[in-house]
């Protein structure tokens, strides 16, 4: 103990030297990883300077002209800004509203299965879509949504006419969110099932003694027991509201449905890479997205820390 205090009283420089001498090998193990993150994550962050430049490949970051907030002005004054922000938020919010209750509900139902073999079988099958690539999933979605596809046939029972579902703007968000749930719900239950298994069995015993049935036990013990997990998952999700899975959007959308399908990141991709090479402008739009994302996750974390005492950091 005495030694510990003495160590901390040493001047900073001495401590650094000592720490390095003691842990040299450990720092060398970390070095490649740190270099990797600096190169592949921090250099691009610095590269966001392009958002304020009229970036030209030939001139690079050091010689391109600074244009201040020109790109941001152009974006927010364009007809796209509102549409992109609206679509991004709408898709994310629809996803949260549907996939959260469904995933938690699915986990609760799985938890009620008494036959272990059956439970494991259902779980295994429900994880399957998670391991299928986005390209294949989107290929299937397109297959099922075209005329004569199964989804199209099912919808025609209600509407009377069979149509190509993906080419109508009104359908896109529903299809996007629905297939996302298909792909993610099973895998999403893992977190909740592990939280449920962490609840003390004594609580259930006590509830049984008090005469609570399964439903009451679920309501009064299981749900409060997994609340911290639910909150953490929500904070994480809110923090990525702005980053809708653009890979899936890019695979599924077409100009006919841009009106409801185009989100900020898919627009960035289109303007910056796929159709144009407006690096400065697209960096600016991307920066806007990243900043809002960061702000959202900080706010969500603050609110959660205050209300539920659960927080990410």
Partner 1 sequence: MKKLSEENITVKKRSKGERIFSYFNTVFLACVTLVFLLPIWHVFCASASDPAKLIQARGLLLKPAGSITLTGYRLALKNGTIIRGYLNTIFYTTAATLIGMFGSAAAAYALSRPNLMWKKPIAFILSFTMLFNGGIIPTYLLVRNLHMLNSIWAVILPGCLSVYNILVMRTSFQALPEGLIEAARIDGAGHMRILFQIVMPCSKAIIAVITLFYVVTHWNSWFHASLYVDGQHRELYPLQLLLREIVIMNSQSALELAGENGALNLGKELTKYAVIVVSMLPMMVVYPFIQKYFVSGVMIGSIKE
Question: Cα 116 from chain centroid?
Answer: 31
Is the Cβ–Cβ distance between 88 and 266 less than 8 Å?
A: no
Alpha carbon distance 217, 299 (integer Å) = 33
Answer yes or no whether residue 122 interacts with partner 1 by CB under 8 A. Answer: yes
The DSSP secondary structure of 84-122, one letter per residue, reads HHHHHHHHHHHHHHHHHHHHHHHHHHHHH---HHHHHHH
Answer yes or no whether residue 299 interacts with partner 1 by CB under 8 A. Answer: no
Run of H or E including 34: helix 12-37
Answer yes or no whether residue 224 interacts with partner 1 by CB under 8 A. Answer: no
CB of 122 to partner 1, least distance (A): 5
Answer yes or no whether residue 139 interacts with partner 1 by CB under 8 A. Answer: yes
Exactly one of 123, 163, 167, 308 binds partner 1 (CB under 8 A); which one?
123
Is the Cβ–Cβ distance between 265 and 289 less than 8 Å?
A: yes
C-alpha dihedral over 308, 310, 312, 313, to 10 degrees?
100
CB of 108 to partner 1, least distance (A): 10
Answer yes or no whether residue 149 interacts with partner 1 by CB under 8 A. Answer: yes
Q: Please count the other Cβ atoms lying within 10 Å of the Cβ belonging to residue 85.
A: 17
CB of 235 to partner 1, least distance (A): 10
Interface residues for partner 1 in 55-114 (CB under 8 A)?
55, 57, 60, 106, 109-110, 112-114
Exactly one of 164, 169, 182, 303 binds partner 1 (CB under 8 A); which one?
182
Exactly one of 59, 93, 97, 125 binds partner 1 (CB under 8 A); which one?
125
Interface residues for partner 1 in 229-258 (CB under 8 A)?
229, 232-233, 239, 247, 251
**Range list of β-strands (E), the chain:** 53-54, 65-66
CB of 169 to partner 1, least distance (A): 19
Interface residues for partner 1 in 7-36 (CB under 8 A)?
15-16, 19, 22-23, 25-27, 29-30, 32-34, 36
Exactly one of 140, 155, 169, 212 binds partner 1 (CB under 8 A); which one?
140
Is the Cβ–Cβ distance between 52 and 61 less than 8 Å?
A: no
Exactly one of 165, 196, 263, 297 binds partner 1 (CB under 8 A); which one?
297
Helix (H, G, I), strand (E, B) or coil at 54: strand
């Amino acid at each position: 103990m005495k030694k510990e205090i003495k160590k901390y009283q040493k001047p900073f420089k001495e401590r650094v030297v000592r720490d390095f001498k003691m842990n040299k090998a450990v720092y060398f193990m970390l070095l490649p990883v740190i270099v990797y993150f600096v190169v592949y994550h921090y250099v691009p962050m610095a590269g966001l300077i392009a958002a304020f430049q009229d970036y030209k490949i030939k001139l690079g970051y050091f010689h391109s002209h600074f244009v201040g907030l020109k790109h941001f002005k152009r974006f927010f004054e364009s007809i796209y800004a509102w549409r992109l922000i609206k679509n991004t938020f709408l898709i994310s919010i629809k996803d949260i509203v549907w996939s959260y209750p469904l995933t938690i509900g699915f986990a609760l139902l799985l938890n009620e299965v008494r036959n272990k073999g059956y439970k494991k079988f259902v779980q295994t099958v429900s994880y399957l879509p998670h391991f299928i690539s986005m390209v294949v999933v989107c290929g299937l979605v397109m297959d099922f949504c075209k005329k004569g596809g199964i989804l199209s046939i099912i919808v025609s029972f209600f509407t009377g006419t069979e149509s190509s579902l993906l080419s109508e703007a009104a359908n896109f968000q529903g299809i996007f969110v629905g297939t996302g749930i298909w792909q993610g719900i099973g895998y999403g239950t893992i977190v909740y099932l592990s939280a449920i298994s962490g609840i003390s069995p004594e609580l259930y015993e006590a509830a049984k003694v008090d005469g609570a049935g399964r439903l009451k036990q679920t309501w009064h013990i299981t749900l409060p027991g997994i609340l911290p997990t639910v909150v953490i998952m929500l904070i994480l999700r809110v923090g990525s509201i702005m980053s809708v899975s653009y890979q899936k959007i890019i695979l599924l959308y077409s100009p006919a449905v841009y009106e409801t399908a185009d989100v900020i990141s898919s627009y960035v991709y289109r303007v910056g890479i796929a159709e144009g090479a407006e690096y400065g402008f697209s960096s600016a739009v991307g920066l806007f997205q990243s900043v809002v994302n960061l702000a959202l996750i900080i706010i969500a974390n603050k609110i959660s820390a205050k209300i539920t005492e659960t927080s990410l950091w």
